Amino acid sequence: MNMFNQVKREIGVNFNEAKNAEIRFWAPEADRVDIQTAQKLLPLEKKDLGYWELQSDALQPGSTYNFLLNGETLIPDPASLRQPEGVHGVSEAVDLKAFVWTDQAWKNPALGSYVLYELHAGTFSPEGTFEGVIGKLDYLLDLGITAIELMPVAQFPGERNWGYDGVFPFAVQNSYGGAAGLQKLVNACHEKGLAVVLDVVYNHMGPEGNYFGQAGPYFTEKYHTPWGSAINFDDAWSDGVRRYFIENVLMWFRDFHLDALRLDAVHAIKDLGVKHVLQEISQEVDLLMEATRRNYYLIAECDLNDNKYINPLTQHGYGMDAQWIDEFHHALRVTAGEPTTGYYSDFTGIKHLEKAYRDGYIYDGIYSPHRLKTFGGKAEGNTGSQFVVFSQNHDQVGNRMLGERSSELLSYEMQKLMAGAVLCSPFLPMLFMGEEWGETHPFLFFTSHGDPELVKAVREGRKAEFAAFHAEGEAPDPQSEDTFNRSRLQWDLLEEEGHQQLLSFYKTMIGLRKQYGPLNNTERSQLTVSADAATNCLVLKRWEDGVQVLCLMNFSKKTQDITIPDDKPYWRKILDSADPKWKGPHAAPASIDALQ
């Protein structure tokens, strides 16, 4: 096992106590490496395993630099902490220890108590910065969520990007506020009692400003990914690449006090070595937790329906604490009327939703017509707190050609029902920014690449992507600033009654989840669920310590009779989304007698 430094990054530029820069750069195939500062060119010394090192006072926090390879090629630092002029410019030395933390009282809550809120820093607030997010924390607290989840913040080209085109995993996007801005945001969240999750991308690098191939063998041709060559986690020289990403994980927890990382599309992290890099990450995070006496969570986006990813290391698992589960979303949306085109074609509606509540994975070893093969395994032994569910997220909204949110696609009644379906689940619920007030703006795919060829390719790729959806019309231009502006939240909608009412409904639902033990209990064995395809109704019963909660969901467009479990004589209504109180058509009785 490799042991990583739990005190500071083992790559890039760090400052020691004497305020000297400790410079470490990985370039195993270079013959010579120099660091180019504004004033000087200084040679680095070759060490074992492809590392080059120098200790010098020629760099101070705020100094800019590049590395010069073989006396010929000048590139920014792959482990740069700041790119003041963007992805193509110089790197800037940053002292991450300069920030004064005041979150000593913060304690990361149990994962099972997370109510997540996914947000994109650029479009969430009017300012489009971390500072703008800080301005909305009181709103989020009032909403009741317990954790914000930031879409990726690693430096990307330009100022408009979802974040998945990042090319400097250690550098916080300068236009959002950089490293200090993120540290300030996390500190503010912790002071207010909110956890912070960060989305990180370890399965590919963005297409522009990607100087990795020049620095070292970061990529391998062994595997194909949707983004081209795979990141080299198991081929020659992979130790250095693995170390690079492990250092990244440790940095976010140690130097930014993040509470959890959301690892993007881990199914595209290809590693057939004995120890999967996710296992090594998990081991290293365990050691860091011991050292810092804080808890950190690893949440994977994974579409393989393979609980190996979320099983503990002791059970030969990869040790992720939880995973996203898109199938719940797909089943829920089809139940709510989504046309079954594209990847929705595998979903039949409410019987699948029933299975999702019960089994977690829907395709759990059965034949998937969309994939043309038997797919997945059973999620046996995994608790509900290992699955993150949602009725919308950046991908599910933004990957639609027109980026429509539920508010544009579904009735007001259905929006409330979907919120309830997510918030009453035994899984970790996640909202996507603005869904709680029925934001009417879309969330579109947007970029601000600088390379005209790439801009063209992205535009064309975007069009090709919608073939499966048989959508009509033109896809909005990702590169246009208008596309970005149309994706920003409209906070002034909260002055309108319908939107206020929906927000109030979300607050109430979140409050009930927190208030009722059966609803915040993520023990999957304490529920029963049954769905009726004819009426499109579902009955979810949950319990804890003698208290039972019954969730009756009618996804049809008319009144339906529902048979309720007869083991309890009397049920008191605690919430009714169809109540005129919530702008609904009519309320059900305030109580029912099951034995009538």
User: Is residue 54 within 8 Å of 93, Cβ to Cβ?
Assistant: no
Q: Which of 163, 170, 178 is nearest to 131 (CA)?
A: 178
CB of 278 to a copy of itself, least distance (A): 13
Q: Which of 262, 317, 276, 321 is nearest to 295 (CA)?
A: 321
Residues with Cβ < 8 Å from 344, sequence gap 6 or more? 330, 333, 334, 338
Name residues contacting a copy of itself, limited to 292-311 (CB under 8 A).
304-306, 308
Name residues contacting a copy of itself, limited to 116-175 (CB under 8 A).
none
**Residue 468 is a binding residue for a copy of itself (CB under 8 A):** no
Q: Which of 292, 291, 293, 298 is nearest to 313 (CA)?
A: 298
CB of 51 to a copy of itself, least distance (A): 13
**Residue 374 is a binding residue for a copy of itself (CB under 8 A):** yes
**Which whole-number Å values give the CA distances from 565 to 67, 200, 353, 551, 592, in the listed order?**
69, 44, 19, 11, 12
**Residue 226 is a binding residue for a copy of itself (CB under 8 A):** no
User: Taking contact as CB under 8 A, which single stretch among the options 156-164, 219-227, 383-391, 482-490 is the one that binds a copy of itself?
Assistant: 219-227
**Which whole-number Å values give the CA distances from 498 to 88, 142, 243, 507, in the listed order?**
46, 18, 51, 14
3-state secondary structure at position 436: helix
- Choosing from 236, 467, 534, 595, the residue that interacts with a copy of itself (CB under 8 A) is 236
CB of 348 to a copy of itself, least distance (A): 18
- Rounded Cα gap, residues 513 and 454, in angstroms: 46
- Rounded Cα gap, residues 223 and 98, in angstroms: 41
Task: Name the catalytic one among 149, 301, 326, 364.
Answer: 301
User: Taking contact as CB under 8 A, which single stretch among the options 343-351, 367-375, 411-419, 557-565 is the one that binds a copy of itself?
Assistant: 367-375
Task: Name the catalytic one among 264, 284, 303, 326.
Answer: 264
**Residue 367 is a binding residue for a copy of itself (CB under 8 A):** yes
User: Taking contact as CB under 8 A, which single stretch among the options 180-188, 222-230, 549-557, 576-584 is the one that binds a copy of itself?
Assistant: 222-230
Specify whether 301 is catalytic. Answer: yes
Tell me the per-residue interface mask from 488 to 527 with a copy of itself, x by CB under 8 A, - otherwise.
Answer: ----------------------------------------
How many residues bind to a copy of itself according to rule CB under 8 A?
Answer: 34
- Choosing from 80, 129, 146, 238, the residue that interacts with a copy of itself (CB under 8 A) is 238
**Residue 223 is a binding residue for a copy of itself (CB under 8 A):** yes
Helix boundaries (H) for 61-203: 121-124, 130-134, 137-143, 178-192
Residues with Cβ < 8 Å from 33, sequence gap 6 or more? 25, 27, 43, 44, 46, 52, 67, 68, 69, 70
Specify whether 191 is catalytic. Answer: no
**Residue 46 is a binding residue for a copy of itself (CB under 8 A):** no
Long-range contacts (CB closer than 8 Å, 24 or more residues apart) made by 368-371: 369/345, 370/343, 370/345, 370/346, 371/346
Q: How many CB atoms lie within 10 A of CB 358?
A: 16
**Residue 237 is a binding residue for a copy of itself (CB under 8 A):** yes
**Residue 235 is a binding residue for a copy of itself (CB under 8 A):** yes
Tell me the per-residue interface mask from 48 to 87 with a copy of itself, x by CB under 8 A, - otherwise.
Answer: -x--------------------------------------
DSSP letter, residue 529:
E
CB of 234 to a copy of itself, least distance (A): 8
The residues that touch a copy of itself, with contacts defined as CB under 8 A, are 1-2, 28, 49, 221-224, 234-239, 270, 272-275, 304-306, 308, 315-316, 365, 367, 371-377
Catalytic residue ranges? 264, 301
